[in-house]
Structure 1
Amino acid sequence: MAISFDKALGVHPHAMLIRSQRAELLASNIANADTPGYKAKDIDFAAAMKQAQSAQEGGNHLQRTDSRHLHGKSQLVGNTELYRSPNQADTGDGNSVDVQVERNLYMQNALEYQASLQFLSGKFSGLKKALGGQGA
């Protein structure tokens, strides 16, 4: 009997990928806090997870329009990257980054990433025990 990692792990690997991409985006916001005209971006996590679930159910196939295109998986985030509505008035340079908000969101995202990582670690531990025939 074959083991299906998609069924065993569910959407949690996708959640980790989305959280990783969100961390990059939030770090970019922090790095550009002093860049005139920079607009803070974020990922709509719920929409990205919905997209990941539908891709998992549908097989996540890409359509190649040219023989030179690479085979591979699509990015999960796709169109779920959005500009964030600013919480503060415009400071005059057009930058919408609030460093305190970005740091808080980054820390929250890091904690959620760690929780997903621990969950997946438990899943793999259970699979390892099942394959090894160990009881406890």
Structure 2
Amino acid sequence: MRSLFDGHIELQEKVLDLRLQRQNLVMSNVANVNTPQYKAKRLEFEQDLQTALALDMKGKVTRTNDAHMPATFDESTFKGTGGKEFKPRYVHGEDSVDLDKEMTVMAKNAMLYNALTEVISKNFTGMQKIISEGGK
């Protein structure tokens, strides 16, 4: 029997976890805005996630051969790539963390997190409606 979620709930859970990790990392960057020679850290996972799901950037399945099916996504082994910016700027008296950039990343990440939680919530609301009306 097929699951009601078909593995999507695990994928959504992993993406929410990665977005939370990114938010914590950006908050750490903001907290260290006045720390001398601190290098802003990043957590990038979108491109790796697309690759792991065997999707192109438009969300379509990519295959090298029509007989091939995309591999199943394993959320337990997928992780984002943490890194530091390649060349932080060092200017005496100025911050090495770009506060505007960090706040922009934080706002975008929060919006995407909230959008995904809204999608998950709507899925459960729809399921609840089906269950409650199914007994009538």
Normalising by structure 1, we get a TM-score of: 0.67
Please give the alpha-carbon distance, in whole angstroms, between the structure 2 residues aligned to 1:49 and 1:31: 28
Structure 1 counterpart of 2:72, which letter?
E
Contact 1:11 1:53 in 2 (8 A): no
Please give the alpha-carbon distance, in whole angstroms, between the structure 2 residues aligned to 1:30 and 1:48: 25
1:76-114 Cα shifts (integer Å, max 9, x gaps): 33xx0111245x742138963111110111111111111
Distance 1:92 1:51, change over 3 A: farther
Alignment-derived partner of residue 79 in structure 2: 76
Alpha-carbon shift at residue 29 of structure 1 (Å): 0.3
Please give the alpha-carbon distance, in whole angstroms, between the structure 2 residues aligned to 1:52 and 1:121: 25
Alignment RMSD (CA, Å): 3.2
Matched position secondary structure for 1:57: coil
1:60-81 Cα shifts (integer Å, max 9, x gaps): 5xxxxxxxxxxxx55733xx01
Is 1:46 the equivalent of 2:46? yes
Gaps of 5+ in 2: 55-70
Normalising by structure 2, we get a TM-score of: 0.67
Contact 1:40 1:83 in 2 (8 A): yes
Is 1:119 the equivalent of 2:119? yes
Matched position secondary structure for 1:120: helix
